[in-house]
A and B are shown apart, each in its own frame.
Chain A
Amino acid sequence: MSRSERLYFIADFNVETLARYVANTTLADAETALAPPGPIMPALAAGPPGPDWSAVVWTRPETTIEAFRRALTCHEIDLDRALDEVRAYAAAIAQFAARARSVFVPIWVSPPFERGLGMLDYRPGIGQAQLLARMNLALADALRNHPSVFVLDAGRWFASAGSRGWSQKLWYATKSPFTSAVIEHAASDIGAALDGIAGRARRLVMLDLDNVLWGGVVGEVGWTGITLGGHDHVGEAFADFQRALKTLAARGVQLALVSRNDEATALEAIDRHPEMQLRRGDFAGWRINWEDKARNIADLLAELNLGSESAVFVDDSAIERARVRSAIPDVLVPEWPEDPARFREALGSLRCFDSPFLTGEDRTRTTMFAAERSRRSGLVAVASVEEWLESLDIRVTVEPLADGNLDRAAQLFNKTNQMNLATRRLSKPELEVWAAAPEHCLLTFRVCDRFGDSGLTGIVGLRFEGSEAHLVDFLLSCRVMGRHVEEAMLHVAVAQCRARRASTLRAEFRPTARNNPCLDFLRRSGLRAAAAAAENVFIWNASQPYERPRSVTVLDQTGVATALDP
């Protein structure tokens, strides 16, 4: 569920251009507000306009850290004092962040025309550049345990803007030192961060093969004739692009193939070419045939249980790009350079993959999807779906929310769309606070089977009021939907109700554009609709256990489900 963002700006310069850019281009429905002009620390102490506001806190080092200002005028550098000031500044940001949804803090940057002491500028105890680097590291270190605070690499904005990032004339005229080139990069990164926090990051890159992963048409020249790697600048560019894709996959973004080719010929190239950096196991799925690419993309998304707004499509053909843009507008189809030497840069400049966490599940997602392909091939071989499910040896481990699973739980809260009862979007701190309330119970579910570990993929949130329990959250990753894990989660939820002597479990479905699969599940779950007038409310009489699906083993660290309702 998307929602309009509210973004508050605190800066020691005129930050209005950035606020305008964010509100009118990056996040067109965002509400923005500026802190009153004046010193930074009182603005931080005053807090944001409300708890649902995010904030950008952007300052210049010479006005924030007195020891740095003195260093700029060639006074002796006092590193200890500078770092003490940085930590005090970080503490003020942390206190502010406790009252905000999220906070973005660009690192400090010096103007490119400030050469400091030239060749001595990185010498410890002397150089201003060295001091600034230490200050930025100290700032990031001091804020590392505040999960809603994100220190942004502003240095990249200035590097991208080139020599025109900084304008003294603009500073003298408007009290804003940064040109529109830097402001646009800043706004884009902040927008990408907010998208990531809200679960709107893209999770799948679908790639063409010929002249995208390698040079040439494999169907014509065979796998030995394609241009890839070796002592050739074009071949090196393709190999390097593949390496960049592999790195993206290690962040948790899946890769897939959509190509007009003969499948056997294309897969032979992937399997046998010695310079291929990506092999068959790196792809979550593929459609390599002569069908319409838009149809292939839709099929592949259905197979991977992903929505079109999760996907990026990369193709060298402008016609194919236009076709996919027109047929499936939610798929992001970036313009793509003709020169393979620019492919890596084109991929790196996409800001659609930013996530506020990097979990173990992210790093192993490709492995999990390779296992999923093995499962599906098993489905073809056995007689019925139930037999297939029983053959999987599915084990669901129930754990309460804890430090070790908080990152992944918050990520799941903010990324799950389809099997999601209420689509509440909670940040990590918000989730921790909610789960700690005595009337609440929040359980996480890890799923594994004989093919592999799908990781933490389910969450149940319960609120107890007298004899009634409310199923507040019920969400399950699309990657394990349809394997009776949903029923196992209800089994555990009802067991919790019985343990806390609640007589009724009540689930209210809150519809979004994406969560109809959850409603479908509730309708076939055995829970009864509360009344015709409240068709989205479902009830279970908790005097009765909810039967555990036969194909799923529940390993219950809370001890409730297995003890009460084995």
Chain B
Amino acid sequence: MMDHDEALRIVYDAIDVVNRQLPASKRLHKSPDTVIVGAGGSLDSLGIVTFVILLEEKVGEAFGTTVQLLDEQMLVEDSPFQSIGALTHYIATRAM
């Protein structure tokens, strides 16, 4: 299991990269409540996929293994991608 702070750092690193591709008004705030996928989110489909694959790479680099985050579960109602907080928790518990 990954340390929560380490998971949060990885998520924020990925947000930094994706934010550089977004106009200032659409940039993701580094806050647990920020929505990634779903109503109120500012990423379009290209942005979401870019973010998730980037996150996969960063988690993989941190743990020296591959992880699969990009799947259809991203879009379900209680998806871990709904908010940064939920995503951080999901990564911290899933990355072994």
Contact = CB atoms under 8 A, between A and B. Distances in A.
Interface residues of B, number: 16
A21 B20 CA distance: 6
Contact of A24 (B21, B50, B56): B21
Nearest to A175: B46
A180 B23 CA distance: 16
A167 interface: yes
A375 to B, nearest CB: 47
Nearest to A18: B21
Nearest to B27: A24
A24 B23 contact: yes
B54 interface: yes
A342 interface: no
Interface in A1-48: 14, 16-17, 20-21, 23-25
Contacts of A23: 23
A174 B47 CA distance: 10
Nearest to A173: B49
B54 A20 contact: no
B80 to A, nearest CB: 18
Interface in B19-74: 20-24, 46, 49-50, 53-54, 56-57, 61, 70
B20 A184 contact: yes
B21 A169 contact: no
Contacts of A184: 17, 20
Contact of B46 (A14, A21, A24, A167): A14
A164 interface: yes
B21 A167 contact: no
A20 B50 CA distance: 12
Contacts of A25: 20-21
Contacts of B54: 179-180
Interface in A159-195: 164, 167, 169-170, 173-174, 179-180, 184
Contact of B53 (A14, A21, A24, A167): A167
A17 B21 contact: yes
A180 B21 contact: yes
Contact of B57 (A14, A17, A179): A179
B21 A170 contact: no
Interface residues of A, number: 17
A23 B54 CA distance: 21
Contacts of B49: 170, 173-174
A180 B46 contact: no
Nearest to B45: A174
Nearest to A181: B17
B54 to A, nearest CB: 6
Nearest to B60: A164
B46 A16 contact: yes
B5 to A, nearest CB: 23
Contacts of B24: 24
A269 B1 CA distance: 57
B94 to A, nearest CB: 18
Most B C-beta atoms less than 10 A away, residue of A17, A25, A173, A184: A173
Interface string B1-23: 00000000000000001101111
Given A169-B70, A179-B57, A21 B50 contact: no
Nearest to B70: A173
Contacts of A16: 46
A174 B46 contact: yes
Interface in A91-110: none
Nearest to A187: B20
A179 B70 CA distance: 15
B17 A24 contact: no
B10 to A, nearest CB: 14
A243 to B, nearest CB: 34
Nearest to A169: B53
A25 B16 CA distance: 12
Given A173-B49, A174-B49, A174-B50, A164 B57 contact: yes
A20 B21 CA distance: 5
Given A14-B46, A16-B46, A17-B46, A173 B21 contact: no
A16 B54 CA distance: 16
A21 B47 CA distance: 12
A132 B70 CA distance: 34
A24 B22 contact: yes
Contacts of B20: 21, 24-25, 184
Contacts of A169: 53, 56, 70
A20 B22 contact: yes
A100 B54 CA distance: 35
A21 B50 CA distance: 13
A23 B23 CA distance: 8
Contacts of B53: 167, 169-170, 173, 179
Contacts of A14: 46
Contacts of B57: 164, 167, 179
Lowest 5 A-B CB distances belong to which pairs?
A20-B21, A25-B20, A173-B49, A180-B17, A21-B21
Given A17-B21, A24-B21, A167-B57, 17 more contacts: A14-B46, A16-B46, A17-B46, A24-B20, A24-B24, A25-B20, A164-B61, A169-B53, A169-B56, A170-B50, A173-B70, A174-B49, A174-B50, A179-B53, A180-B50, A180-B54, A184-B17
21 contacts: A14-B46, A16-B46, A17-B50, A20-B21, A20-B22, A21-B20, A21-B21, A24-B20, A24-B21, A24-B22, A25-B20, A167-B57, A169-B53, A169-B56, A170-B50, A173-B53, A174-B46, A179-B57, A180-B18, A180-B50, A184-B17
